[in-house]
Amino acid sequence: NTMPCRGAVFIATSSDGFIAKEDGSVDWLNELQATMPEGEDGGFSAFLASVQGMVMGRKTFETVCGFVEGGMASWPYPIPVVVLTSDPAKVTIPDVLKKEKLEVSSKTPAELLDHFEREHGAKEVYVDGGSTIRAFMEAKLLDRIIITEVPATLGSGIALFTEAQRATLKEVSEPKNFENGFVQRAFSVEA
């Protein structure tokens, strides 16, 4: 009896729990990430190596595409990625990403995890993007959530979780403190 495939989250928030400004911008975060010591990625590459696939929302995909097409970054995901959207016809995969393991889908979170398990033998899938994370949380399909709080207060913006969802998080280890003021916490989700 093998465990079914589950979702995992690795994300940064402001100290007051927002993942982006009202308009979706994350420039405040990019500026702060530059304060990480050289070669320190806050555990991201280790996290990426621990998952076998990824589901990202359309807005997150468009943000990453902007970085890739603008020459600021290369596609960072060596795993199969599904872009989740209600309208797949609206999502265009840029030419520079045509060779990546990338597809667009409007399936439910449960169907997507099932797809990753069947097609890729996945046990855990990285879930990214505010509304995508909330949808997986709503469906009770997230087990592991790693949140890095950065020393910035936004006051308003796009929250990672609703109050009710936040209440189901249970811290599973001591917080990890980085010298630039970042604090990383690992949670499990209580049923």
The number of beta carbons lying within 10 Å of the beta carbon of residue 166 is 13
Residue 27 pLDDT: 85
For residues 125 and 78, give the distance between their C-alpha atoms in angstroms, rounded to a whole number: 13
Taking residues 81-86, report their average pLDDT: 96
In this predicted structure, the answer to whether residue 70 has a pLDDT above a threshold of 80 is yes
Mean pLDDT score across all residues of the chain = 92
DSSP 179: T
Helix (H) or strand (E) holding 81, with range, is: strand 81-84
Residue 1 pLDDT: 47
Taking residues 28-33, report their average pLDDT: 87
Residue 67 pLDDT: 85
| 184 contacts 176 by C-beta, under 8 angstroms | yes
C-alpha closest to that of 61 among 99, 23, 105: 105
Q: Write out pLDDT tens, residues 129-149.
A: 999 999 999 999 999 999 999
Global pTM exceeds 0.85: yes
For residues 102 and 83, give the distance between their C-alpha atoms in angstroms, rounded to a whole number: 8
In this predicted structure, the answer to whether residue 160 has a pLDDT above a threshold of 50 is yes
Q: Write out pLDDT tens, residues 96-110.
A: 898 999 999 999 999
Residue 129 pLDDT: 92
Residue 35 pLDDT: 86
Confidence of residue 88 (pLDDT cuts 50, 70, 90): very high
Q: Tell me the two tokens of residue 62.
A: 């468009």
Helix (H) or strand (E) holding 60, with range, is: helix 58-69
Taking residues 87-100, report their average pLDDT: 92
Helix (H) or strand (E) holding 59, with range, is: helix 58-69
C-alpha closest to that of 7 among 88, 123, 89: 123
